[in-house]
Amino acid sequence: MKMGNLNSGKRMYKVDQDFFKKWSPQMAYIFGFTCADGNIYHRTLAWELTNRHQSNKDLLERFRVTMLSNYPIEERKKSVRFRISNPVIISDIKILGVFPNKSKQILFPEVPDKYLCHFIRGFLDADGWIVAVIKKGGTKELSVGFCSGSKDFIDGLIIALKNCVGIVKFNLRKRLRKTKKGKNSITYQLDFYSDNAYQIIKFLYDNLTEEDLYLQRKFEKQLIARKFYEETKQNRLFGRNWVSLERKNAVKMDVLLKEYLDKGLLPKEIAARFGVSLSSLYRWLDKSKVRLFSRRSSQEWTKRILMARSK
C-alpha cells in the first residue's frame, strides 16, 4: 500500500493515498462528508469543524484512523482541523467531483447503490439535520433535512432518495441569507417530516457495523427521533391511553394484552384493569393483531362486546 509524503522536509506524514480509488462504506461516507464540508487548496484536502462539540474531533480522529494516516488533528481557537497533503488524494477526489470553491457548483456524483446510504449519511452529518422536538400541547415533531448551495446537487439527491427510499414528495426551499461579508447567498433546503423522515433515518442508520462512520451526536438524535416517531404512530393508531399505559407498565401493550388473554382474563376484566371501555379494548386487540376480527363494527364485533359485558 502506497503511503506518504514529506511535510516541510522534517517529518514523514502518512496516508493511504489510494483511499479514494476504491468504493467502501468508509470511503463513501468520507466522500459524502467532503462534498458538504471538505475544502481543497492546492495540494491539500482539509476538514475543519467547530470545537464546540467533542463529537466533531472524534469524527476527524476516525477519519485519520480510517485513512491510515498520522497527520495531526490541529487544535485551533474555535475549530479542529484535519489536513492531508498528497497529490494522489487530491487528484482522485477531483475525479470524483470535489474541486476548490465547489459549494455552488458541485454535482451529485455517481455513487453505487450499495454505498448510497453511507454517502448520504456523510453529507447529512456535514450539512444536514435531524430534529426531534416536543411542541406546545405535547405533540412531537420529527424532521430530517439537507442543505446545499448547489441546486444541481440537491436535484441529484432527490433522485437518489426517490430510487433508494421510495419517497415521492419533496419539500424543496430556496433560502436567501447574508454571508459574514454582507453578501447575498442562495442555499437550497430539503425538508422531510414524519413518515418520510423516519424512512430516511432507517435508510441511513439501520444495520450499521462497528466499522461504519457517523457523527455521534446525530446518531443519538436519530435514536430520539425513532422513539418520537413510534410514539406518534402509536398515538395515531391506538390513542394516548395506549401510549400512557405502555410507558407506565414499561411493557409493550401487545405483549401485555396477550399475557392477560393467555391467563384467561375476560375482556371486561382486562378493560377494567386498563381503565378503558370494552370497545376501546377490542379496537386495541384488533389493531395490534393480538386478536383479529372480521371487521370492526361488524356483527361479530358487536356480539363479542355484548357477550363480554354480560359475563
* Mean local confidence (pLDDT), 103-128: 96
Predicted TM-score of the model (pTM): 0.81
pLDDT at 247 over 90: no
Residue 129's beta-bridge partner residues? 145
Per-residue pLDDT tens over the stretch 251-307: 889 999 999 989 988 888 999 999 999 888 888 888 888 875 544 455 554 555 555
What is the structure's pLDDT at 108? Answer: 97
C-alpha cell at position 301: 364485533
What is the structure's pLDDT at 291? Answer: 74
123 closest CA partner among 134, 141, 113, 109: 109
Architecture of domain 3-235: Roll (3.10)
| Residue 235 vs residues 139, 242, 244: alpha-carbon distances, Å | 10, 7, 10
Half-sphere exposure of 268 (CA within 13 A, CB side): 8
pLDDT at 231 over 90: no
81 closest CA partner among 121, 119, 113, 41: 41
Confidence label for 245 from pLDDT (cuts 50, 70 and 90): confident
Domain residue ranges of the chain, discontinuous segments joined by +: 3-235, 239-310
Per-residue pLDDT tens over the stretch 32-46: 999 999 999 988 999
pLDDT at 10 over 60: no
* Mean local confidence (pLDDT), 87-105: 94
Diameter of the chain by CA atoms? 92
Per-residue pLDDT tens over the stretch 137-185: 777 789 999 999 999 999 999 999 999 999 988 999 999 877 777 778 8
User: CB of 273 within 8 A of CB of 251?
Assistant: no
Per-residue pLDDT tens over the stretch 176-212: 877 777 778 899 999 999 999 999 999 999 999 999 9
d(CA 265, CA 268): 8
What is the structure's pLDDT at 12? Answer: 85
User: CB of 142 within 8 A of CB of 91?
Assistant: no
Place of cell 410514539: 231
